[in-house]
Structure 1
């Protein structure tokens, strides 16, 4: 294994046949990340739980838009929610998603800037 790769030994590469369920689910997850507002919401939630008002302020999108994006993310199982009094608090449902969002944004930082890629 390449020493520069950041692959957890417990989650090493598993051979999969093309067209199997992990590919379909992976494509679904990536399509959800392909929206700028949803990616910003997920990045904000990677720092910790937040309610819609906090997310709206940090993401810079209208409250109805943030609410709609949260509904899609919840339906896909990427975001969890819980009630705290009258507020609904949202959080990421999985640490893998946190790492994926971080890696996508790291790739975006390196790709157009001309910085050398990591191995």
Structure 2
């Protein structure tokens, strides 16, 4: 659900040196703050993304649904470790699970997750490239 924001522009004044001084009172500033529950949810998502194994799992799932055993092969970790990471990702709303007999298949919960992974990788690639220059 989108957060209503005050989009009015604060008064812009310049000091004696010509430097910009925004005048904004604390009530107006509070209008720019995001709801605490939404901020908490976002920090939980980014916390989940901060682990390289979980990020790799999500990167594979961008390509489509995979079984736990498929993800175990990619991650080169035990099935128990993969299952633990998948449980955390599911609890954070980043992946969904589907059971087919004995096997469990995972996929991204929606396109927002794919966008987060894509944007994160793109930004990281830019940073790595700029550091090499």
TM-score band (shorter)? 0.7 to 0.9
Equivalence for 1:90? 106
Q: What SS is found at the alignment partner of 1:61?
A: coil
Distance 1:60 1:107 in 2: 26
- RMSD in angstroms over aligned alpha carbons? 2.0
How does the TM-score come out when normalised to structure 1? 0.78
Higher RCO (CA-CA < 8 Å; seq separation 6+) = 1
Distance 2:129 2:71 in 1: 28
Quick check: 33-42 or 57-66, which moved more?
57-66
Q: Aligned in 2, Cα 1:112/1:68: closer, same or farther, shift over 3 Å? A: same
For structure 2, list consecutive stretches of 5 or more residues without a partner in the other structure: 6-31
Equivalence for 1:62? 78
Equivalence for 2:21? none
Distance 2:67 2:102 in 1: 11
Aligned residues: 104
Q: Aligned in 2, Cα 1:14/1:98: closer, same or farther, shift over 3 Å? A: farther
1:37–1:61: 8 Å Cα contact kept in structure 2?
Answer: no
For structure 1, list consecutive stretches of 5 or more residues without a partner in the other structure: 1-11
Task: Quote the offset at 1:19 in angstroms.
Answer: 5.2
Q: Aligned in 2, Cα 1:108/1:61: closer, same or farther, shift over 3 Å? A: farther
How does the TM-score come out when normalised to structure 2? 0.70
Name the structure with the higher strand share.
2
Equivalence for 2:65? 49
Distance 1:37 1:54 in 2: 14
Is the radius of gyration larger for structure 1 or structure 2? 2
Equivalence for 1:76? 92
Residue 104 (str. 1) matches residue 126 (str. 2)? no
Task: Quote the offset at 1:87 in angstroms.
Answer: 0.5
